Amino acid sequence: MVEMIYAKIGPAGAVIAVLSFFSVYFFLASMIYLAWVPLGFRRFLADLRKENASITGDTAKKNPISSVVWTALEHKIPRSELQGEISYLFQRNFGGTYISLTILRLISVISPLLGLLGTVLGISNVFREISLQAAVDNAAMAGGIWEALITTIMGMAVAIPTLVFYYLLRLRTRSLMICAIEATRERIA
């Protein structure tokens, strides 16, 4: 069955199919992580707002956003430099998420190009079949044209949702960064 599918979609289509699984995996893993992280941060903020807060660096480091805020407060970063410093700390503490974002962006760019490659391969197969036969075989031509069309469709079908995934994760990361900036400003003021 795998051989039959591979024969229909070609090598470019097979790579696009694999990329679709990576896209869904990186999106779901990152989205679950970014949904879980704020829970610990809310507890950290509640503890931080108490009069006799007994928070230590070890407690703050259990959560990446808490670690960002704690580091910013510990180093007494001036308000004018706060946004840039928190952005840097976010990249350091959310390295895996930023890698996922990069991979999703890469998949969204590569997928249509692979679809185009599949189109070129399919059309070249059609012309090869035509050149090898004295009488044109419509079935052979249809197979090559099918490969050309299906890989283009697959490339776009993977690229569009992956780009949506990328922007959703990017928005979520930015909103968490804004929460960290606001929490730090609140404690500095």
Residue pair 110/155 in contact by the 8 Å Cβ criterion:
no
Complete DSSP assignment for 102-159: HHHHHHHHHHHHHHHHHHHHHHHHHHHHHHH-SS--HHHHHHHHHHHHHHHHHHHHHH
Question: What was the pLDDT predicted at 45?
Answer: 83
Question: What was the pLDDT predicted at 189?
Answer: 61
Question: What was the pLDDT predicted at 42?
Answer: 87
Q: What is the domain range of residue 89? A: 2-188
Tokens (6 digits) for 96: 């895996």
Q: What whole-number distance in Å separates Cα of residue 6 and Cα of residue 4?
A: 5
Question: What was the pLDDT predicted at 40?
Answer: 86
* Total domains, the chain: 1
Q: What whole-number distance in Å separates Cα of residue 112 and Cα of residue 92?
A: 31
| pLDDT tens digits, one per residue of 115-131 | 999 899 888 888 887 88
Residue pair 125/144 in contact by the 8 Å Cβ criterion:
yes
Question: What was the pLDDT predicted at 124?
Answer: 86
Residue ranges of the chain with per-residue pLDDT less than 50: none
| pLDDT tens digits, one per residue of 138-166 | 776 777 788 788 999 999 999 999 999 99
Question: What was the pLDDT predicted at 116?
Answer: 93
Question: What was the pLDDT predicted at 53?
Answer: 65
